Structure 1
Amino acid sequence: MSTTPHRSKTEPSAAPRPWRSLITLAIVTIAIFVSLGIGTKTSDASWAPKLALDLEGGTQLVLTPKTTDGSEITSEDINEAIAIIRQRVDASGVAEAEITRQGQQNIVVSLPGKPSDATLDLVRQSALMRFRPVLQIGQPGVVPADQLNLPDKAKEHPKAEEDKYFALADQDGDGKLSEEPQTAPSNNSDPAWVTEKILYDFLKHDCTDPANLTGGTVSDAKKPLVACDAKGEGKFILGPADLEGTEIKTAVGRPHMQGQVLTGDYEVGLEFKSDGTQQFAEVSKRLVSLPAPRNQFAMVLDGLVISAPRMQATIVDGKASITGGFTQEAALALAKQLSFGSLPLNFEVQSEEQISATLGTEQLERGILAGLIGLGLVMVYMIFTYRGLSIITLASLIIAAVLSYGTIAVLSWVQGYRLSLPGVAGLIVAIGITADSFIVYFERVRDEVREGASLQRAVTEGWRRARRTILASDAVNFLAAIVLYFLAVGGVRGFAFTLGLTTLVDLLVVFLFTHPLMELLVRTKFFGEGHKLSGLDPTHLGASPIYQGRGRIATGQPKKAKASAGGMTIAERRAAEREAQRAKNEEGVV
């Protein structure tokens, strides 16, 4: 006869290592604040998050779109102008800007803080459309220099090591990048337009960088251009402009028909004015005979390529259709952009002034006070209900607050994020969300204690049961924040952003701090032996009796639990039976 230890199926397979999680969280927290500290010394970072218009004020511009030929500006044109200005502002990194319509014609642009001159220039500039032939197409990103396969001639260039892009672009090897074609181009589609300078710009241009998707580029219509796709999905070398957008007569989105049959797709129908018809006929005749990608023409609006279709036939009547599997929404959107580009439009600045905060510091202080009151009420409830466990709650909430503050400060630095009063409200709501995670965890642990489990095992089993509930709850909150962020406008998006951010912080804190701290504290005498003020006192929780073998029941249980098996409830009796079976299994007699 031999004896072997038998592991209960409810025991963990390995000893928990809470220090690893705590150290990981400490590294993350330190990294956030060290990077912020470096940013304050080397860049424009600040220890305090930037504030939005409602809390800090900023600069307000009132613009009036006007056409140079006196043509009428429709309501859709105003909406498209607002969309273009919003794209410029968002891509320039300015967050929490407000762009609204005032009356029938004016556009009000409110920028928080002190925007740079470059940002103000972006807002003021007019939006032009031009049709340019495509000379070359490339991937949106920059090919890393160490992955460039230089030809032998370029490898011998003096700058081959320090600037491989320069060595590749400097085709004549004279150490200069020529901005003039080496041979006279025969037309706007001639590859001779790809000068050394244009090639160098194309190689180094990064269309995955939001800064290059702002639009508002002022370019010479008679010279080639490097431009990005409006969505950042490609980059182009374009020849001089063949046609101005003002030559468009109409642009409509409509169902695509093949013969007399609807295909289910949509197309954009274009019709040019009289001069534009003749110009487009010459362009189409030239492009249709060229190889790809030079058989494409790019529609460049506000310095970005909004479409670059292939020319499939010579069009002499000035009526063209752009196909390509458009949805109805995409076709209508492109038609609106083309219609807007047909206007000889300028933005006239009616006024430009500094505006004060709409709410101000007092409202921010009240918001912070509301958060502190909420935190105080949560702590009172936790102390009353969970006693010693409230220490874990307080420590976890402090860590969550530190992480949230640091993350918002870093986002203010690197992404231009600005904290608004609705964002502050999202942070206050997060106190309840985070506390809810603790309550779920504590109740699962206390349930295990009530069923007669030891405190060590109660923590392990309680966590196993609680984490699924916590993950499900936070997933719902995060999904709601995402939906609210993308569907809402204005300050509501600020609320949704901080709600989503603090939900992620909640998961990080619960998994890397709250649970590991609980594992450490339960090893202490105060918590591990179930002191009556610890919140884990088996007697106070009404724990079921624990069978200890040979007919013995653990002491220290409620009197009604000691009485007899017959006086137990069904749940208590089943718990006692499970403990008895577990004890027998642990004897391990073979």
Structure 2
Amino acid sequence: MHPGRQLGVLGLVFVVLYLLVFFAGGAKGSFTDRLHPKLGLDLVGGTQATYIASVQGGQVPTKESMEQARSIIENRVNALGVSEAEVVIQGDRNIVVSLAGKADDQLKDLSEAAQMRFRLVIGATGDVASTALNPPTAKPSASASGSAKPSAAASATTGASAPAANPSAATGGQGGGEVMKAPSPSATPTPTPTTTAAAPAPGQQQQVTVAEVEKKIGPAAWAAAQKLTAPVDLSSDPKAGLAYATFSKLTPAEVNVLTPQMQFNVPTISCDQLNARPAGAIDDVNKQATVCYQGGKILMDKAPVVGDDISKASPQLDQQNGQWVVSLDFKSEGSTKWANLTRQAFNATSSDPCYTAATAMYGSIEHCAVAVVLDKKVISAPQIQGVLTGTSQITGQFTAVTAKELADQLNFGALPVTFEAGPAQTVSATLGVQQLRAGLLAAAIGMFLVAVYAFFYYRLLGSVIFLSLILSGLLTFGALVFLGRTVGFTLTLAGIAGFIVSLGVAADSFVIYFERLKDEIHEGRSPRSAVPRAWARARRTIISANTITIMAAVVLYIVSVGAVQGFAFALGLSTVLDLVVVFLFRHPIMTMFANTKAFLSPRVSGLGRVLRRAPTDVKEA
């Protein structure tokens, strides 16, 4: 063999890993700061946020729905199983989430319902049209190739944007989209200032009836609103909205009880009011819905395709444009529904409401638009330029983090109850830095004892053990720092215990190899010929033993939660890295040692008794 090659590969692994540690994964600060691993809640404290369950009428949610919500939120915040967040239920309606470090950004979207709906756009106000006809960037475009992935760069307040779809090869269709800026927070122009009442207290949604709203509006304005069949155009006659001025005084909860047609047609119902409606306001798939999009209002049809029709959502890097997207794979029945919806949009004629709406939005158009709605927000409303089946994409201004967050929300399902964000606060460490130092001290003592025993029993071979442990430790530390920044791996006391246990696993592989080497020499082989022979036989046992440890760690990781998952992840990671060191350092360095005089010395090599008992006429392999 050529030991220099294996050692060169190991050196390359170290260079690449520490380049990632210092310059990738959002590395910031000085070089010393970039070497800091992400510590867990038990060691450095963190952020604690409270989410308050909100049920219509102020009713208390059931224990089953609260437990289901707790499980979904835990899966969202701990999607990779290594951040070790604490998610507990407090009282009848509170869920408290604790996460290590400053985690405000990670906690802010946990309580979102993640109800995705696909709705045909059947109406649009002039505000949307003016924005659509004057996009700030490129014009809508679609690839001529049936296998291409056209996309659009529209974005919404969620950070997501226009979806494109991979059409079926059989249909030859193409996904369409528009390029627009983020929705404006301003309201629809009204003749009088818009005033909205404060939202109800968390957990106590306001129960409002249509009769109460009608009384507040007044019989004249109510009757006028019921007669409307299209939005009132204030651009030509600003005074036309005076008859509906009282609608601007409705609270979001009161606006919510109005029909979607009334919400859409009445000009004094603003985007501020619509956006502040209670959670779940437009979740009913059997009802039309009105939302704000691009600074204006759009009316959407019923939702034939929903989030439950998606079998899998995953973040992906689009190879064509280098942008992050969320890929959606539909279930068998969901794929059929999606094809039917896109067929309806694609085959619509100029007399269909959706065609008129798309004309108002985009000017000169070819086909209708389908709105992709997440909770109360329209992520995008692209034109459909073919009958789409199979995999679709949500594309736009995603980062790796935001694409993963949306995919996790869709994968882990919608919350059975709606939540409102309560207070957030900083919490202190449950164990503290002293326990961290104690854990690191325990790891150092364990490594020291292994090294002492190795040098005492194996002498020169003990240096191989010591250097291997050092290299394993450096690889593990680099991986720990990099994974902490990229996938949220959090080092807790349980994880430190996993690394300490891995020292014993690493020591076992040394014993197997060296004892096999002694057996080969005892059978009459020279030390130089015994090294490759011992490696060939010990390698299988080492791989088997480490594979069993890795399998045990994987099973423990899958069936456990929290700190136990952290222990399993740490044990599995360190065992895999130990195998890397075994193949790229231990065997090559032993091959090099076998060609030295010290290795042939019974007193220095650690093979003293075996060499003395070996016959003088040894055989070469």
Is 2:434 aligned against 1:448? no
Q: 2:100 aligns with which of 109, 112, 118?
A: 112
Is 2:137 aligned against 1:127? no
Distance 2:182 2:438 in 1: 55
Hey, what does 1:196 align to over in structure 2?
A: 178
Q: 1:463 aligns with which of 515, 535, 560?
A: 535
Contact 2:311–2:329 (Cα < 8 Å) also in 1: no
Residues 71-112 of structure 1 deviation map (CA, whole Å, 9 limit, x = unaligned): 341112112222332344245999222111224432110011
Q: 2:419 aligns with which of 346, 361, 371?
A: 346
Residues 489-543 of structure 1 deviation map (CA, whole Å, 9 limit, x = unaligned): 110111100100011011000110011111111111111x233221123x55553
Contact 2:25–2:482 (Cα < 8 Å) also in 1: no
How many correspondences in the alignment? 398
Distance 1:166 1:496, change over 3 A: closer
Hey, what does 1:533 align to over in structure 2?
A: 604
Q: 1:372 aligns with which of 433, 438, 444?
A: 444
Q: 2:429 aligns with which of 338, 347, 357?
A: 357
Q: 1:68 aligns with which of 40, 43, 56?
A: 56
Structure 2: segments with no counterpart, 5+ residues: 122-140, 155-160, 163-172, 184-278, 283-288, 292-297, 315-325, 349-369, 380-409
Structure 1: segments with no counterpart, 5+ residues: 1-15, 136-147, 153-162, 170-177, 180-190, 202-215, 239-266, 268-282, 306-333, 548-553, 555-578, 584-590
Hey, what does 1:150 align to over in structure 2?
A: 143
Q: What amino acid sits opposite 2:99 in the alignment?
A: L
Q: Could you say what the CA RMSD is over the residues aligned between the two structures, in angstroms?
A: 4.7
Distance 1:93 1:390, change over 3 A: closer
Distance 1:493 1:302 in 2: 35
Hey, what does 1:231 align to over in structure 2?
A: 312
Distance 1:542 1:50, change over 3 A: same
Residues 297-319 of structure 1 deviation map (CA, whole Å, 9 limit, x = unaligned): 999679899xxxxxxxxxxxxxx
Q: What amino acid sits opposite 1:355 in the alignment?
A: V
Q: Secondary structure at the match of 1:111?
A: strand
Is 2:529 aligned against 1:543? no
Q: How does 1:423-502 map to 2 (within 5 A)?
A: 423-502=495-574
Q: How does 1:149-188 map to 2 (within 5 A)?
A: 150-151=143-144, 165=151
Distance 1:293 1:498 in 2: 55
Distance 1:198 1:236, change over 3 A: farther
The offset of 1:383, in angstroms, is 2.0
Distance 2:376 2:70 in 1: 13
Contact 2:81–2:562 (Cα < 8 Å) also in 1: no
Hey, what does 1:311 align to over in structure 2?
A: none
Residues 267-309 of structure 1 deviation map (CA, whole Å, 9 limit, x = unaligned): 9xxxxxxxxxxxxxxx9xx979959999x9999679899xxxx
Q: What amino acid sits opposite 2:73 in the alignment?
A: I
The offset of 1:476, in angstroms, is 0.1
Q: Secondary structure at the match of 1:523?
A: coil
Distance 1:134 1:521 in 2: 73
Distance 2:72 2:378 in 1: 11
Runs of 4+ in 1 over 3 A off after TM superposition: 39-45, 90-94, 128-135, 148-152, 163-167, 197-201, 216-230, 233-238, 286-294, 296-305, 539-544
Residues 211-260 of structure 1 deviation map (CA, whole Å, 9 limit, x = unaligned): xxxxx99998535799984731675799xxxxxxxxxxxxxxxxxxxxxx
Contact 2:476–2:577 (Cα < 8 Å) also in 1: yes
Is 2:82 aligned against 1:97? no
Contact 1:230–1:304 (Cα < 8 Å) also in 2: no
Hey, what does 2:11 align to over in structure 1?
A: 26
The offset of 1:545, in angstroms, is 2.1
Distance 1:35 1:24 in 2: 17
Residues 532-561 of structure 1 deviation map (CA, whole Å, 9 limit, x = unaligned): 221123x555534254xxxxxx7xxxxxxx
Q: Percentage identity across aligned positions?
A: 36
Q: Secondary structure at the match of 2:7?
A: helix
The offset of 1:378, in angstroms, is 1.2
Q: What amino acid sits opposite 2:484 in the alignment?
A: S
Q: What amino acid sits opposite 2:578 in the alignment?
A: D
Q: How does 1:177-576 map to 2 (within 5 A)?
A: 196-197=178-179, 222=291, 223=298, 229=310, 231-232=312-313, 341=416, 345-349=418-422, 351-527=423-599, 529-537=600-608, 539-540=609-610, 543-547=613-617
The offset of 1:113, in angstroms, is 0.2
Q: TM-score, normalised by structure 1?
A: 0.58
Contact 1:449–1:455 (Cα < 8 Å) also in 2: yes
The offset of 1:63, in angstroms, is 2.3
Distance 2:44 2:605 in 1: 46
Distance 1:40 1:151 in 2: 36
Distance 1:237 1:515, change over 3 A: closer
Q: Secondary structure at the match of 2:57?
A: coil
Q: TM-score, normalised by structure 2?
A: 0.55
Distance 1:406 1:479 in 2: 23
Q: What amino acid sits opposite 1:441 in the alignment?
A: Y
Hey, what does 1:208 align to over in structure 2?
A: none
Distance 1:289 1:96, change over 3 A: closer
Q: What amino acid sits opposite 1:231 in the alignment?
A: K
Distance 2:378 2:563 in 1: 29
- Relative contact order (C-alpha < 8 Å, sep 6+): which is higher? 2
Q: 1:57 aligns with which of 27, 45, 56?
A: 45
Q: What amino acid sits opposite 2:54 in the alignment?
A: K
The offset of 1:150, in angstroms, is 3.4
Residues 432-474 of structure 1 deviation map (CA, whole Å, 9 limit, x = unaligned): 1111111111111111111110111100100001100000000
Distance 1:197 1:457, change over 3 A: same
Contact 1:89–1:122 (Cα < 8 Å) also in 2: no
Distance 2:542 2:378 in 1: 45
Q: Secondary structure at the match of 1:232?
A: strand
Distance 1:426 1:362 in 2: 18
Distance 1:530 1:437 in 2: 24
Q: 2:72 aligns with which of 77, 84, 94?
A: 84
Q: What amino acid sits opposite 1:86 in the alignment?
A: E
Distance 2:177 2:14 in 1: 50
Q: Secondary structure at the match of 1:73?
A: coil
Contact 1:165–1:200 (Cα < 8 Å) also in 2: no
Contact 1:166–1:200 (Cα < 8 Å) also in 2: no
Contact 1:49–1:408 (Cα < 8 Å) also in 2: yes
Contact 1:58–1:356 (Cα < 8 Å) also in 2: yes
Residues 36-76 of structure 1 deviation map (CA, whole Å, 9 limit, x = unaligned): 22249964772111101011100112222121323341112
Distance 1:426 1:75, change over 3 A: same
Contact 2:313–2:328 (Cα < 8 Å) also in 1: no
Contact 2:371–2:378 (Cα < 8 Å) also in 1: no
Distance 2:329 2:555 in 1: 38
Distance 1:475 1:364 in 2: 29
Contact 2:114–2:413 (Cα < 8 Å) also in 1: no
Distance 1:304 1:498, change over 3 A: farther
Residues 321-355 of structure 1 deviation map (CA, whole Å, 9 limit, x = unaligned): xxxxxxxxxxxxx9x968x55x5x33251x32110
Contact 2:7–2:585 (Cα < 8 Å) also in 1: yes
Distance 2:56 2:583 in 1: 62
Q: Secondary structure at the match of 1:59?
A: strand
